[in-house]
């Protein structure tokens, strides 16, 4: 297999970067500073790690102009090294082949519409009323249910389930095990038992969203659950029915949002954070990992309630006090009239 190779001149022209050093320098891969070899390209986005440059064997680097000026080895300079490196790395990505057409082992209902340029992989199922757009790819074992739409250029990597009434926009990327459009969790109490509240809504996912492995996004009870464009969800995220997530919001692994909550644009939700139901979060709210949001947030900013672990014996003593904190403060209050000032 012949490796893909580019000169710095190739890369500089393609991505609009400035060249430092020999433009003929050849690059056949990308790597971390620590593991890059002399024909590989490394990058430095965070000046905090600048001391790693000296030890790196990388043949060339992607850096800011200021860093490039001080380098003795070849480099590509840009104000946004992380983005430039991401674009260059994509040149070296090997994607599994996805030939247009329907694999002989797939089960596609005659009532489904599949664009001739779409690729339906082995052992997929596509139900009546589903539509698969131009250039869309369904990897192995995906299941697209009734009335679901997979937009142009979208990619279900493998074993993705779109249950019912799910509409994916264009260029949506969904990782294995994700379940989109399962029933929301709706229950009423009736005659001493639970009565299921039918879930009749759908899920709408905007262009350029990415949905992580084993993430679940439920269909709405009556209206739809909505992700606007460019929303990015990591693995094992749970989005309940009728949630609305604004454009460009990103949520790290294991985060969860309860029903009917509305999250703004450009929010960042840390790993395993939980957001209660029926709340509103404005744009540009950051929730740190493992925090619990139980009230609406009206001001952009960073919010937290996670507690860093400490030695467990010490922690047990502290939690014992915490469980009596109100009592402690009240007692202090008896002695100290300043308390409520």
Q: Which of residues 277-316 bind a second copy (CB under 8 A)?
A: 286-295, 301-316
Q: How far is the CB of 13 from a second copy (least distance, A)?
A: 18
Q: How far is the CB of 248 from a second copy (least distance, A)?
A: 6
Question: Are the C-beta atoms of 21 and 75 separated by less than 8 Å?
Answer: yes
Select which of 241, 244, 248, 278 is catalytic.
241
**CA–CA distance, 225 with 217 (Å, rounded to integer):** 8
> Binding pattern to a second copy, positions 137-176, x when CB under 8 A?
---xx-x-xx----------xxx-x-xx--------x-xx
Under the binding rule (CB under 8 A), the answer on residue 41 touching a second copy is: no
Q: Which helix (H) or strand (E) holds 253?
A: none
Q: Which of residues 261-280 bind a second copy (CB under 8 A)?
A: 271-272, 274, 276
Q: Strand 210-211 to strand 149-150: parallel, antiparallel, or no bridges (unpaired)?
A: unpaired
Burial of 279 (0-12, 13-18, 19+ CB in 10 A): middle
Total residues at interface with a second copy (CB under 8 A): 129
Per this entry, what is the length of the chain? 341
- Of 16-24, 54-62, 66-74, 207-215, the window that binds a second copy (rule: CB under 8 A) is 207-215
Is the alpha carbon torsion for 257, 258, 259, 263 positive or negative? negative
**Minimum CB distance to a second copy smaller for 23 or for 223:** 223
Under the binding rule (CB under 8 A), the answer on residue 86 touching a second copy is: yes
Out of 14, 70, 198, 296, the only residue in the binding site for a second copy (CB under 8 A) is 198
Half-sphere exposure of 9 (CA within 13 A, CB side): 4
Under the binding rule (CB under 8 A), the answer on residue 194 touching a second copy is: yes
Question: CB count, 10 Å around CB of 285?
Answer: 23
Q: Which of residues 209-238 bind a second copy (CB under 8 A)?
A: 210, 212-214, 216, 218, 222-223, 230, 232, 234-236, 238
Closest residue by Cα to residue 102 from 115, 79, 121: 121
First to last CA, the chain: 75
Under the binding rule (CB under 8 A), the answer on residue 321 touching a second copy is: yes
Residue with tokens 């946004």: 80
**Minimum CB distance to a second copy smaller for 24 or for 50:** 50
* Annotation marks residue 241 as catalytic: yes
Active site members: 241
């Amino acid at each position: 297999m012949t490796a893909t190779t580019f000169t710095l001149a190739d890369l500089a022209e393609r991505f609009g970067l400035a060249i430092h050093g020999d433009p003929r320098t050849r690059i056949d891969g990308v790597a971390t500073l620590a593991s890059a070899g002399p024909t590989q390209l490394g990058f430095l986005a965070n000046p905090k790690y600048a001391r790693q440059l000296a030890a790196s064997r990388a043949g060339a680097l992607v850096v800011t102009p200021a860093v490039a000026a001080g380098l003795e080895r070849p480099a590509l300079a840009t104000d946004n090294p992380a983005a430039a490196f991401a674009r260059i790395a994509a040149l070296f990505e090997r994607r599994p082949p996805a030939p247009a057409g329907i694999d002989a082992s797939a089960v596609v209902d005659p009532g489904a519409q599949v664009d001739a340029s779409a690729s339906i992989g082995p052992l997929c199922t596509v139900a009546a009323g589903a539509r698969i757009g131009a250039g869309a790819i369904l990897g192995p074992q995906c299941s697209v249910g009734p009335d679901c739409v997979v937009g142009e250029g979208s990619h279900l990597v493998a074993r993705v389930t779109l249950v019912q009434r799910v509409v994916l926009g264009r260029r949506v990327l969904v990782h294995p095990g994700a379940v989109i459009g399962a029933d929301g969790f709706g229950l009423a109490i009736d005659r001493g038992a639970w009565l299921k509240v039918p879930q009749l809504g759908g899920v709408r996912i905007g262009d350029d969203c990415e949905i992580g492995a084993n993430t679940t996004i439920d269909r709405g009870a009556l209206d739809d659950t909505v992700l606007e464009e460019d929303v990015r969800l990591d693995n094992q995220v749970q989005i309940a029915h009728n949630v609305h997530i604004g454009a460009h919001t990103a949520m790290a692994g294991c985060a969860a949002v309860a029903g009917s909550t509305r999250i703004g644009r450009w929010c960042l939700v840390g790993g395993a954070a939980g957001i209660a139901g029926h709340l509103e979060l404005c744009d540009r709210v950051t929730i740190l990992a493992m925090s619990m949001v139980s009230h609406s947030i009206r001001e952009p900013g960073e919010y937290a309630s996670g507690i860093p672990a400490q030695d467990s014996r010490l922690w047990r003593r502290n939690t014992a006090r915490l469980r009596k904190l109100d009592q402690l403060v009240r007692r202090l209050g008896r002695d100290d009239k300043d308390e409520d000032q």
